[in-house]
Amino acid sequence: MVDNKVDKINSVFKNNMRKYGMAIALILIIGLFQILTDGILLKPLNITNLILQNSYILILAVGMLLVIITGNVDLSVGSVVAFIGAIAAKLMIEQNMPVIPVIIISLLIGALVGAWHGFWIAFVKIPAFIVTLSGMLLFRGLTMVILKGQTLAPFEKSYQILSSGFIGDIFGGQTFHITTLLMGIVFSLIYVFVEMKNRKDKIKYGFDVISMKLLIAKISLIVIVINLLTYSFASYRGIPNVLVLLFFLVVIYTFVTNKTIAGRYIYATGGNEKAARLSGIKTNKVLFWVYVNMGLMTALAGIIFSGRLNAAMPGAGNGFELDAIAACYIGGASASGGIGTIIGAIIGGLVMGVLNNGMSILGIGIDWQQAIKGLVLLIAVAFDAYTKSKSNN
C-alpha cells in the first residue's frame, strides 16, 4: 500500500517533470536574472521590451511548431521575413499604398510562399530540408533584388501600431492603465470559467477530477500571475498590441492542436505518416496546409519586424529560422515529429529571450550570448532525452 503510494507520487513527479520541466527552468532562469540584475529584469519597462523584442520569434515558433510536429523543418523563414518586409516597404514607401491593403497583400504573399514550399514538399515529395534551404537562398536573393541592396525607410506611423503600439486606455487612467487592469480581470474570469466547465464536463462523464482544493490552488496561482503581469504593464504604458496578438495566436493554436480534428491529423501525420494515411488522412494535404500556415506566420512576423525596425533591410531576419526551431526543441518538440506543444514552443522562445535580455542587462557581449544559447539548446534537449528514457523504462 505504502509502496504503491510512493510509486504513484514518483510517477506523478516523473510525468510532470517531463511536462513542466522547461516551465520550471524558465522560472528559475527568470529568478536568477532577477537577482543578478538587481531587479531590473522584471521592471515593467523591461518586461515590455522583452515582449517587443521577442514577439516575432514567438510568432515564428508557433508556425514552426506545427511544421516540426509533422517531422519536417522550415529553414526559409528568416529570408521570408526579410522578403515580406521588402515587399511591404516597396508598396508603402514607393507606391504609397495605404496600410491595410499592404498588410493584407503581405499576408497573402506569405501564404503563397508557404504554398510554394508546401507544394514541393507535400506533392512532389522533396525533403523539406532541401526545399526550404532552396527557399532560404531564393527569398534572400529576391529581397536583395527588390531592395536593390539598399535599406528602404521609414514606414508610415500607422504601420508600426502592430509592432510597437499599445492598447489605448478608454478610461484615461493617470498613474495606471485602467483598461489593462480590467483586461487582466476579464481574462482571469474567463480562465476560471473554462476550468470550472471542464471539471463539470468531466464529472458529467463520470471521470476522475482533481480535488477542489488542488484546483483552487492551481486557479489562484494562474490568476495571480495574470494579474501581476497586467499590473506590471499597467504601471508602464499598458499592454503592447503585439502581446494581445500573440495571446490570441497562442489560444487559437493551442485549441487547434489539442481539440480539433485538424490538430489531431497533424500529430498523426508526424507520428506515423503511413499509418495516418491508411487511416484515411490525406497526409499530403496536411503537410501542404501546415506550410501555408507557416508562410502566413512568417508574413506576420515580417510585418512586425519591419515595423519595429521601421525599415526594410536586405539582411533582415538573418538566423530567425534557427531561433524559431530552437524554441520548439527547447520546448520539448521531437525532431522526429509527432511530439510538441504550442505552449512548450512559447516557453522555449521565452527561455532564450530571457537569457538574451538578462545577459544584455548584465553587459555580456553578443558573442557570449550566442555561445550560451547554443549550450542551453543542447542541455534542454539532452534533459528531455534523459527524462524520456527514464519514463520509458
Partner 1 sequence: MATTKFLNREVVEMSEIILKMKNITKEFYGIKALDNVNLEVKKGEIHALVGENGAGKSTLMNVLSGVYTYGTYAGDILYEGKECKFTSIKDSEKLGIVIIHQELTLSPYLSAAENVFLGNEQAKNGIIDWEKTTTEARKLFKKVGLDEDPDAIANTLGVGKQQLIEIAKALSKNVKLLILDEPTAALNEDDSEKLLNLLLEFKKAGITSILISHKLKEVSKVSDRITILRDGATIETLNNDKNLSEDKIIKSMVGRDIVDYYPKRKHKIGDIFFEIKGWNVSDVADESKKIIDDVNINVRKGEVVGISGLMGAGRTELAMSIFGQSFGKKLSGKVLKNNKELKLNSISQAIDNGIAYVTEDRKNYGLVLIDSVKNNVSLPNLEKISKNSVINENEEIKIAEKYKSNFNIRSRDILQNTGDLSGGNQQKVVLSKWIFSDPDLLILDEPTRGIDVGAKREIYTIINGLAEEGKSILMISSELPELLEMCDRLYVMNKGRIVGELSKEEATAESVMKCIMKDNKEAEYGG
Binding site for partner 1 (CB under 8 A): 3, 7, 201-202, 204-205, 207, 259-262, 264, 267-268, 271-272, 274-282, 334, 338-339, 392-393
- We find the least distance from the C-beta atom of residue 340 to partner 1, in angstroms, to be 11
Q: Nearest 5°: CA angle at 283, between 280 and 287?
A: 155
Q: How far apart are CB 283 and partner 1 at their closest, in Å?
A: 10
Residue 237 or 277 having the CB closest to partner 1: 277
Q: What crossing angle do the helices spanning 283-309 and 99-118 adopt, rounded to 10°?
A: 140
Q: Do the Cβ atoms of 360 and 53 come closer than 8 Å?
A: no
Closer by beta carbon to partner 1, 150 or else 198: 198
Give the CA angle between residues 392, 20, 37 to the nearest 5°.
135
Least distance (Å) between residue 14 CB and partner 1: 10
Q: Kindly state the smallest distance separating residue 205's Cβ from partner 1, in Å.
A: 4
Please say which residue, 69 or 181, places its beta carbon nearer to partner 1. Answer: 69
| 3 state SS of 177 | coil
For partner 1, give the closer residue by CB, 171 or 248.
248
Least separation in angstroms between residue 248's CB and partner 1 is: 17
Q: Per residue in 265-287, is it b (16+ CB within 10 Å) or e — as a string?
A: bbbbbbbebeebeeeebebbebb
For partner 1, the closer CB: 43 or 388: 388
Closest separation between CB of residue 280 and partner 1, Å? 4
Q: Which residue is associated with the grid cell 523563414? A: 77
The 10 Å CB-count burial string (b at 16+, else e) for 342-363 is bbbbbbbbbbbbbbbbbbebee
Spatial distance between the Cα atoms of 61 and 75, rounded to a whole number of angstroms: 12
Give the nearer residue to partner 1 in terms of CB position, either 207 or 211.
Answer: 207
CB of residue 8 vs partner 1: minimum separation in angstroms?
A: 12
Q: Which is nearer to partner 1, 93 or 268 (CB)?
A: 268
Question: Are residues 162 and 241 in contact, defined by beta-carbon separation less than 8 angstroms?
Answer: yes
Radius of gyration, CA atoms only, the chain: 22
